[in-house]
């Protein structure tokens, strides 16, 4: 066994797990092209992967997962703290001792007949003072090739690590092979035996039974958000579920913006936006996660800790997001999309009809004109960020990019205006803490109302969410230069009129709102006081060439006091979940809002 490192702690950790899991072989991954090609050829030969047409999709591969293993499983995702209240009411909890007892029993002999891969990876540019290093052990070659896209992975990471500390990430698909037993195409354990467990105090991740997405690629949500959010709290930085974009005005000035939206609110579309107003450009730093630390100059700097995009394929098209579509022109792993007869991929909403004879994600044959579902709604592509047509030239700058503005937003057909600005950092934290989307009962079988997803972190906060709000407050208090804190805004692209008509066109036209935010950061445009925060003057948002009327703009920027009084009641209900752990500063912001509406 070639170890590629002299880090005794790491070698000992791997050896300890080898004794427990009993793999047939151990491979230390070097991240090389040769290693990647070897693993891909092996997976094609075994039937796990299908190589796509080299002319249409160079160096790209197609996978179908087991139907029980298609997405994150929130009710099998645990935060393991000594006290249940430290995990908080929004997480599934188990004590560390109990969870480790359960999982050690499952891990014993779990890699028999398989190879253990040791995967060193850096979250963030190698050597950045904002980056962190992890090591994942896994028995899945799919995880190795995916981690090579999604992180900086291999020998160079071990060189940077030296004798240093790493976040230990343990993963197994939970499907040992008896001598002579034939492997299945997608090995995994049944749903009730899947565990994705986090131990914040010891910075450990133990995952068992799933081979898919964030359950298995442990750098993604497990490390970059759940463990990192706890590290950020104890060390005084921010680990956030946010995109990062660079916005350049016609004068050539660039400002960087981070934004947090719950799922299905257009996060990736905004990260890769093509502005509809002349002279403005958007570049992509990241589409999902931002890690932010204060620089020596007192400014908040952000990196994208990932090296790839793990995007939802369905409804990605030339119309909705051409830059995401072209990010996966080559070097891409596709999972649970359709496989066309000419060895290309297809999914619902791609923009053209599905070819007859396409293989669906369930391995059935599609007949032209039928209503058979071809791609799973959570079908994914893992694509290199460096292949994105709009990637920002500074996306790998170890220092990060300076953040001028932070945006929050959800799907709100009424109540919340198109855009408003927070009066202060605490007010902005309050806005982030009450983010939500309105759902109709018909949509997902739930009672109609506002589903709160604070900071878009609900499934990803590694500790009690009320304490997380408190951490945001303390970041504002401890900022080396409060004048340099990013301005905070709330946006809502989803406002409708009383007939259910969208009032705002969205997509590329969201650049018109970004332009106002940019100008607010420059101090070149005024805002108007309202009970909820600072609003634009209607004439300061450029609607030239749009079918948006002045009456529409009035409606888009309206603050209806009665609707907001009802909102206050809903916020009180939301805060009540956290009891007396809600920071006093947020209760004060709520009281101010209530007073302003009186």
What are the extents of the domains in the chain? 8-47+73-235, 240-306+393-597
- pTM for this model (two decimals): 0.97
244-287 pLDDT, tens digit per residue, is 999 999 999 999 999 999 988 889 999 999 999 999 999 999 99
Class of domain 8-47+73-235: alpha beta
Contact 137, 25 (CB under 8 A): no
Q: What integer pLDDT is reported at residue 302 of this predicted model? A: 98
CA of residue 485 relative to chain centroid, distance: 23
Average pLDDT across the chain, whole number: 96
* SS3 of the chain: helix, strand, coil, percent, to 5: 35, 20, 45
Confidence check: pLDDT of 108 > 70: yes
Note every long-range contact of 340-344, with CB atoms under 8 Å and residues 24 or more positions apart, other chains counting.
342/53, 342/56, 343/50, 343/51, 343/52, 343/53, 343/56, 343/57, 344/52, 344/53, 344/56, 344/57
Strands 204-208 and 195-199: antiparallel
Per DSSP, the three-state class of 317 is coil
Residue range 141-155: mean pLDDT, rounded: 98
Q: What integer pLDDT is reported at residue 442 of this predicted model? A: 43
Q: What integer pLDDT is reported at residue 3 of this predicted model? A: 86
Going by the DSSP 8-state scheme, the letter that residue 502 receives in this structure is B
Distances (CA, A) of 564 to 28, 551, 569, 582, 584: 57, 21, 9, 21, 21
Least confident of 447-456, 511-520, 527-536: 447-456
Q: How far apart are CA 139 and CA 170, in angstroms?
A: 10
Q: What integer pLDDT is reported at residue 2 of this predicted model? A: 76
Going by the DSSP 8-state scheme, the letter that residue 193 receives in this structure is G
538-565 pLDDT, tens digit per residue, is 999 999 999 999 999 999 999 999 999 9
Residue range 139-162: mean pLDDT, rounded: 98
431-458 pLDDT, tens digit per residue, is 999 999 987 544 444 456 889 999 999 9
13-36 pLDDT, tens digit per residue, is 999 999 999 999 999 999 999 999
Q: How far apart are CA 272 and CA 321, in angstroms?
A: 7
360-417 pLDDT, tens digit per residue, is 999 999 999 999 999 999 999 999 999 999 999 999 999 999 999 999 999 999 999 9
Catalytic residue (one of 29, 80, 222, 265): 265
Confidence check: pLDDT of 343 > 80: yes
Residue range 99-108: mean pLDDT, rounded: 98
Q: Do domains 8-47+73-235 and 240-306+393-597 have the same CATH topology?
A: no
Q: Any idea how long the chain is?
A: 598
Q: What integer pLDDT is reported at residue 1 of this predicted model? A: 66
Q: What integer pLDDT is reported at residue 449 of this predicted model? A: 80
Contact 417, 558 (CB under 8 A): yes
Known active-site residue 265 = yes
Q: What integer pLDDT is reported at residue 444 of this predicted model? A: 44
Confidence check: pLDDT of 199 > 50: yes
- Tell me, which fold does domain 240-306+393-597 have in CATH? Phosphoenolpyruvate Carboxykinase; domain 3 (3.90.228)
**Beta-ladder partners of 489:** 407, 421
Residue range 213-236: mean pLDDT, rounded: 97
Strands 195-199 and 77-79: parallel
């Amino acid at each position: 066994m070639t170890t590629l490192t002299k880090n005794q702690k790491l070698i000992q950790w791997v050896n300890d797990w080898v004794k427990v899991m009993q793999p047939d072989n151990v491979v230390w991954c070097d991240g090389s092209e040769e290693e990647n090609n070897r693993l891909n050829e092996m997976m094609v030969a075994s039937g796990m992967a299908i190589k796509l047409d080299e002319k249409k999709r160079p160096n790209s591969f197609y996978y179908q997962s087991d139907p029980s293993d298609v997405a994150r499983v929130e009710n099998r995702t645990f935060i393991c703290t000594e006290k249940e209240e430290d995990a908080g009411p929004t997480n599934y909890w188990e004590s560390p001792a109990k969870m480790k007892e359960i999982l050690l029993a499952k891990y014993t002999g779990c890699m028999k007949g398989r190879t253990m891969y040791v995967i060193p990876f850096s979250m963030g540019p190698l050597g950045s003072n904002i980056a962190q290093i992890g090591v994942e052990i896994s028995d899945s070659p799919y995880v190795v090739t995916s981690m090579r896209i999604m992180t900086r992975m291999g020998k160079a990471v071990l060189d940077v690590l030296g004798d240093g500390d790493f976040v230990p990430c343990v993963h197994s698909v939970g499907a040992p092979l008896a001598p002579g037993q034939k492997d299945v195409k997608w090995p995994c354990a049944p749903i009730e035996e899947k565990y994705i467990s986090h131990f914040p105090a010891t910075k450990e991740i133990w995952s068992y039974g799933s081979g898919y997405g964030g359950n298995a690629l442990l750098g993604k949500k497990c490390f970059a958000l759940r463990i990192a959010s706890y590290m950020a709290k104890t060390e005084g930085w921010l680990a956030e579920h946010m995109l990062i974009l660079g916005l350049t005005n016609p004068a050539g000035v660039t400002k960087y913006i981070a934004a947090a939206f719950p799922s299905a609110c257009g996060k990736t579309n905004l990260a890769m936006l093509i502005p509809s107003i002349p002279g403005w450009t958007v570049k992509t730093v990241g589409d999902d996660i931002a890690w932010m630390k204060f620089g020596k100059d007192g400014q908040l700097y952000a990196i994208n800790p990932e090296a790839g995009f793990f995007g939802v394929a369905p409804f990605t098209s030339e119309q909705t997001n051409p830059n995401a579509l072209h990010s996966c022109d080559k070097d891409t792993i596709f999972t649970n999309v359709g496989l066309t007869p000419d060895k290309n991929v297809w999914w619902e909403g791609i923009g053209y009809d599905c070819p007859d004879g396409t293989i669906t994600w369930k391995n059935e044959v599609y007949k032209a004109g039928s209503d058979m579902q071809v791609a799973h709604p959570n079908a994914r592509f893992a694509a290199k960020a460096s292949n994105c047509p709009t990637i920002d030239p500074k996306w790998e700058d170890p220092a990060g990019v300076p953040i001028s503005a932070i945006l929050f937003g959800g799907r709100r057909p009424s109540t919340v205006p198109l855009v408003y600005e927070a009066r202060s950092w605490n007010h902005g934290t309050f806005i982030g803490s009450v983010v939500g989307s309105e759902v109709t009962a018909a949509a997902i079988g739930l009672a109609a109302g506002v589903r709160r997803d604070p900071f878009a972190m609900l499934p990803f906060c590694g500790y009690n969410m009320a304490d997380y709000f408190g951490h945001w407050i303390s970041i504002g208090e401890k900022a080396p230069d409060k004048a340099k804190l990013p301005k905070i805004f709330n946006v809502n692209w989803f406002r409708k009129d009383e007939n259910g008509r969208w009032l705002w066109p969205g997509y590329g036209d969201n650049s018109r709102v970004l332009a106002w935010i940019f100008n607010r950061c420059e101090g070149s445009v005024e805002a108007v006081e309202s009970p909820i925060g600072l609003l634009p003057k209607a004439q300061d948002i450029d609607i030239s060439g749009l079918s948006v009327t002045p009456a529409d703009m009035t409606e888009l920027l309206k603050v209806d006091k009665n609707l907001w009084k009802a909102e206050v009641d809903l916020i009180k209900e939301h805060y009540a979940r956290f009891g007396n752990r809600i920071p006093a500063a947020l209760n004060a912001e709520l009281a101010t809002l209530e007073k302003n509406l009186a």
